[in-house]
Amino acid sequence: MRALIIRQLLAIAVTVILGGLLCAIFVRVAPGFDVDIQQLDSRLSAQTLEALRAKRQSSRNIFAFYGQYIRNAVHGDFGKSLVSDHSVRGLIAERLPATVRVAGGGLALAWLAAFSLAMWVMVLRSRAADIFAMSAASLFLALPAAVIGLACVVADAPPLLAIAAIVSARLFPYIRGVLTRTGNMPHVLAARARGTGELRILFLHVLPVAAQPLLAIIGISVAIALGADLPVEALCGIPGIGQLAWQAALGRDLPVIVTLTVLVTIITVTLNSACDVAAEAVRGQHA
Amino acid sequence: MTSLQKFAALILTGIALATVLSVAMLRTNYATQFRNIPNAEPSRQHWLGADDLGRDRFARLAYGTAVSLSLAPIAAFISVILAACIGGVAGYLGGTWERIITAAVELVLCMPWLFLLIAVRAMLPLNISPLLSVIVTFSLLGSLGWAASARVVCASVSSLRNSEFILRARASGTPNWRLLLVHLLPNLKPVLGAQFLISVPVFILTEANLGILGLGVSEPLPSWGSLLTELESMHGFGSAPWKLVPLVLLVLVVISFQLIISSDEVSA
Amino acid sequence: MKRTALAVLVCLFALPFGLLAQTRNELRFYLHSEPRTFDPLLVTDESSDTIAYLTTGRLVHVNRATQALEPELATAWKVSRDGRVIMFKLRDRVFYSDGSRFDAQDVAATIKRMMDPNTHSPFADIFGAGTLTAKVVSPLEVKIISSVPVANFDRIFDQIAIVSSRSPLKERAALGPFFIADYKPGSFVYLKRNPNYWKKDDAGRQLPYLDGIRLEIQSNRDIEALHFLRGEIDLINSLDSEHYDQIAQRAPGSVHDAGPSLDSEQMWFNQVANAPIPPYKRTWFRSTNFRRAIAFAINKQDLARVAFGSYAQPAVGPISPANKFWFNRNLPPAKYDVAAALKLLRQDRFRLEGGTLRDADGNSVEFSIITNAGNKYRERMATMIQQDLSKLGIKVNVVTLDFPSLIERITEKFNYEAALLGNINVGLDPNEQMNMWLSSGESHQWNPREKSPETAWEAEIDRLMKAQSISTNPVHCKKYFDRVQEIVVQQEPFIYLVNRDALSAVSPSVIGAHPVVLRPETFWNIEHLRLSANAREK
């Protein structure tokens, strides 16, 4: 187990470093990196415009930039935003609480909702319940994230409900599928034939077996939540990480985008690795 | 097929047929601007009214449905195939290979793929036809959208890898390719089917969001994405509920897809 | 005992409501983007400009309603005949928000810092090749000397905010009606009433009337309109036409249309000599007949009516009629004439074959127009132009790009054919657009940074712009710039499409607001604005 944990930690470190580098390359290669929106201001002289261009000089050689970035990051310095000149660390620290509230709260609610709905369908074993649940999930799947977010604004509802709706719509079909397949396994059929109650079947026979594939999706659900968080925050004006990422993307703000990508990679990869370790521990226990 | 599956398939077929017929029989071109009637209400000449440039909404809906209904499933198919290959191989091989491929998948999941799309869009000629631009957009979405599905496939294959029937098949000397194609793949159908169904509306909606960044469909070609961007202005739906028709159609299509698959599982 | 306890409980319960009933004397509205800087000498974006307007003081002030120049921190001034020297007499007993005193030293230090090449202040760029130096004559007198004559020398100081040279708060020490009290990035900026503000009203009461201004950051215009209708914000400074109608339906007294704004929307063709476009297309774009034909074939009346819901007017030239002094009233009205367009094209040996326009070498006329994605008005205009030009047999491809990609194409790589963008004109003086009109200018968008003028008409524009920039006679300046406008309309390097109306919304609770065309449209007289008793009680 210790060897597994060390391997996972090394894998996380390599993935994060590679992820940051890939992201930096994407941003550097994307058109519009070398420009600033202020270049359209007809009042600015050639010298001022040259100074604006020079601001991005240090980021042009992407490998040199990234090497320096990693060296500074180890000391907690993630550089300065190319757009606002504020420290990246300060920007993220200020906005993180809003995102934790919206995306984190939404994600937790999504899991609760999707899981509860899937269990309800499983226990009832009713076609009508299944159709109702699938229709509800389909409805939220079919709505653009921006529309769900704006609907929350119009209804004066907390934006985390938008994240919960978006994520649960994607979680529910998968959770339902896993529980249904597990519910059709021989040992479950045997338990049912013996007259075991549905709730007992669910908690003692279905959930333990379904745990591994369900754990596998935790990391993805975090990625989905963070992905949904961006349009919801950007469109609803929530001053969180999603809005920062959107503004950084529009401004080709390399230090901010790389730092946010590294952060998202750390969270996603760590969660997935933790799930893998947990799954391994569960397998070990059963063995 | 159960009666519910048949009903869902009937709806999908009906929508597809209606789209083809509408496109073939339309009197009005989707691009023609009737500038004296912008934002007009439904009438005999314009069944769903006119949009902000006076273009017939029904014509745009018919063409947009054709574009999105034909291209989004293709993109979803591409992504599911890629997910099946990559995730399947990772889950089947297990061990170090599974870890490496899974790490690569996670890397792709965390990337700001938006920049890759922007870079590709910038490399396209400016005078590319709208149809070609939308094909390129959906193909890219499919090529980049496999990561989430791959992880799910990998987990499923991983759990199937040590199941009895696989062990028996392996013990009887079945080659790997046959194990994958004949024994594992059929058992992955429900997972792949679920991923396909989830991906179709995701790609339609992603195309709508990309439109805001200039990566969507070029004017004047409509798609569900461009039609759905009207929803971002939340006001006015009380007085113009016909603007919700593309959304209703999209929901109908998605639910129909879901019903087909869900009926399969419930009847088992 | 019981009765006393009950009374105390009631009071405790009622207290918060009582407090709420008396607290709100703060104005609330939205900034549409994160302010880039609080340093008024580096302001280039709208949000930073708003904060600078509300917190800083200037030597003179352009009255946004009358467009007349008024004393502000300076009580009097005199410009020399040659337009190179301006002498300001400063107002006495003026203090910053932190209590430090304002005097000539601050003015001199501000000018020095502004002109420092390392500061890269856009306000220094207004003076072009000239430099300014400031001399303190006395604590309340300062002389500012330019190395070259400057037209409208005094009016320029309406834009230059004076910063303290001695306060430890630096630019945060405010001379304006408010000072920055709190700032949360991405969320809000809170401005508090400057207790040391020098202005008083006619009754001798110190201004401003408001206790504070809460500026939340919200880029979504739909949400802004919604919150305005709910009463959560008090004004919307620049409203678009759709939301104007939406708000007008539900709160008719709140919306204001001040007529054409100073802003314009235009398209232009890429005329850069070494642009990576096919040579035959470059030949088209550099032909005056071709550009004029395109201009005649675009129905600008329709653009104003359909794209902007009639809250715009067809543009006549580079200057909006809202710019009362500089607008050339002798320019012909916008023309829509497809037959005249075809006639012009035939002069350049274009011909219509089977519904397709071809040039003399048989190339079918097809080009792309790029514009910024997400701006629905520009997307609409580009699509309408696409249809208009199809009547000439021209195929137009509309390509929407995100802003950085677009800017790179039009300023660095020049890999585009035609572009559609807008001009936001903050000031009235055409000298602010020098970089656009001079052929060597960075913003000479159809062909920037020319080593020497490539056409006779560009050479003429260069001559006229330089002449008007150094003339101290307003009649001569007007004559020169009128001629520039005539040349632009004849040559169509920019095909001006529309001037949008200046639309705004102000809650009836706000007393004293008189929306105008010049920015900031609704709160230009912020120190005189106050909230009604109803608003205070919300």
- Res B213: pLDDT: 55
- Say how many CB pairs under 8 Å bridge A and C: 117
CB contacts of A150 in chain C (<8 Å) are 222-223
Over 50: is that where the pLDDT of C1 sits?
yes
Facing C386 at nearest CB: one of B121, B220, B235: B220
Top-confidence residue, C394 or A239 = C394
Rounded to whole angstroms, the Cα distance separating C284 from A192 reads 80
- The Cα of A166 is separated from the nearest Cα of chain C by a number of Å equal to 20
Instruction: Say what the pLDDT of residue C436 is.
Output: 93
Chain C residues whose beta carbon lies within 8 Å of the beta carbon of residue A84: 34, 36, 185
Interface with chain A: mutation pick from B3, B12, B106, highest number of A CBs within 10 Å: B106
Percent of chain A with pLDDT over 90: 17
B193 touches chain C (CB under 8 A): no
Contact A31 C436 (CB under 8 A): no
Pairing of strands C366-372, C418-423: parallel
- pLDDT given for residue C47 in this prediction: 95
Rounded Cα–Cα distance for residues B257 and B194 (Å): 10
Exposure string of C78-89, with b = 16+ CB inside 10 Å and e = fewer, is: ebeeebbbbbbb
Q: Decide if A131 and B259 are in contact by the 8 Å CB cutoff.
A: yes
Nearest CA in chain B to C221: B233
pLDDT at B265: 45
User: Can you give the pLDDT at residue A10?
Assistant: 85
Q: In the structure encoding, which two tokens stand for residue B148, read together?
A: 């989430």
| C415-456 residue pLDDT tens | 999 999 999 888 888 888 889 999 999 999 999 999 999 999
The predicted-structure confidence for C186-203, as pLDDT tens digits, reads as follows: 889 999 999 999 999 999
Q: Do B251 and A142 touch (CB under 8 A)?
A: yes
Cβ pair C125, C230 in contact under 8 A: no
Residue of chain C with shortest Cα separation from B230: C376
Query: Residue C130: pLDDT above 70?
Result: yes
C122 contacts on A by Cβ (under 8 Å): 41, 43-44, 48
Q: What is the arithmetic mean of pLDDT over C397-420?
A: 92
pLDDT, chain A, mean: 84
Q: Provide the pLDDT for residue B163.
A: 84
Mean pLDDT of the region B227-242: 72
| Mean pLDDT computed over A129-154 | 80
Q: How far from C486 is each of A106, C289, C429, C479, C491, CA to CA, in Å?
A: 60, 16, 17, 11, 9
The reported pLDDT for the residue numbered C7 is 52
DSSP code, position C60: E
Is residue B123 less than 8 Å (CB to CB) from chain C? no
- Predicted local distance difference test score (pLDDT) of residue C446: 97
Tell me which chains share at least 3 CB pairs under 8 Å with chain A.
B, C
Q: Do residue A11 and residue B208 have CB atoms under 8 angstroms apart?
A: no
Q: Is A155 on the interface with C (CB under 8 A)?
A: no
Q: Residue B147's pLDDT band (boundaries 50, 70, 90)?
A: confident
Q: What's the pLDDT at C19?
A: 47
User: B218 and C397: CB-CB below 8 Å?
Assistant: yes
| Chain B residues close to C377, C-beta within 8 Å | none
Q: What average pLDDT does the segment A252-265 reach?
A: 90
Q: Are C119 and C113 in contact (CB under 8 A)?
A: yes
What would the two tokens of residue C476 be? 């001569």
Peptide bond into C520 cis (omega under 30): yes
- At residue B267 the predicted structure's pLDDT band, cuts being 50, 70 and 90, is very low
Q: CB A264 to CB B262 under 8 A?
A: no
Exposure b/e, B12-41, CB count within 10 A at least 16 = b: beebeeebeebeeeeebebbebbbebbbbe
Cα C78 to Cα B41, B239, C111, C474, distances in angstroms = 62, 60, 18, 16
Count the alpha carbons within 13 Å of B262 in the hemisphere toward its beta carbon.
31
Mean pLDDT for the stretch of residues C58-72: 94
Q: Please tell me if residue B117 touches chain A, with a CB cutoff of 8 Å.
A: no
Two tokens, residue B61: 């809906």
pLDDT of residue C502: 96
Among B44-53, B170-179, B203-212, C137-146, name the most confident range.
Answer: C137-146
Touching B: A residues 88-147, CB under 8 Å: 127, 130-131, 134-135, 137-139, 141-147
Helix (H, G, I), strand (E, B) or coil at C127: coil
Query: Confidence band (pLDDT; 50, 70, 90) for B214?
Result: low
Most confident range (mean pLDDT) of A121-135, B114-128, C161-175 is C161-175
Which chain A positions have a beta carbon within 8 Å of C402's beta carbon? 32, 250
- CA distance to partner chain A, nearest, from residue B54 (Å): 24
* H-run or E-run covering C156: none
- Does pLDDT of B90 surpass 70? yes
C442/A46 CB distance under 8 A: yes
The C-alpha atoms of residue C441 and residue C466 are separated, in whole angstroms, by: 12
Q: Do C400 and B33 touch (CB under 8 A)?
A: no
Q: In Å, how far is B45's CA from the nearest CA of chain C?
A: 20
- From residue A197, alpha-carbon distances to A123, A190, B123 in Å are 9, 12, 61
Strand (E) positions, B45-202?
none
CB-CB neighbors (< 8 A) of C216 in chain A:
237
pLDDT in tens, A85-95: 789 999 999 89
Instruction: For residue C168, say if its preceding peptide bond is cis, omega within 30 degrees of 0.
Output: no
Check CB contact of B232 with chain A, cutoff 8 Å: yes
Beta-carbon separation of B214 and C417 below 8 A? no
- Its ipTM equals 0.84
Checking if the pLDDT of C520 tops 80, the result is yes
Give the pLDDT of residue C5. Answer: 56
Q: Give residue C2's pLDDT.
A: 55
The pLDDT of C50-71, averaged and rounded, is 95
pLDDT at C16 over 60: no
Whole-angstrom CA distances from C91 to C88, C135, C139, C181, C196 are: 10, 17, 10, 26, 14
- A63 and B CB contact within 8 Å: no
What average pLDDT does range C390-407 have in this prediction? 92
B127 at C interface, C-beta within 8 A? yes
* Residue B263 confidence class, pLDDT cut points 50, 70, 90: very low
Per-residue pLDDT band at A2 (split at 50, 70, 90): confident
This prediction's pTM: 0.88
For an interface test with A, the pick among C266, C410, C411 (most A C-beta atoms closer than 10 Å) comes out as: C411
For residue range C268-322, what is the model confidence (pLDDT) as tens digits?
999 999 999 999 999 999 999 999 999 999 999 999 999 999 999 999 999 999 9
pLDDT at B77 over 60: yes
The CA–CA distances, whole Å, from C514 to C28, C254, C256, C263, C424 equal 17, 11, 9, 20, 21
- As a whole number, the mean pLDDT across chain B is 82
pLDDT band at C458 (very low <50, low <70, confident <90, very high): very high
Q: What is the pLDDT of residue C21?
A: 47
Beta carbons of C217 and A239 less than 8 Å apart = yes
Instruction: Say which of A84, A237, A240 has its CB closest to residue C217.
Output: A237
* Interval B150-155 mean pLDDT: 86
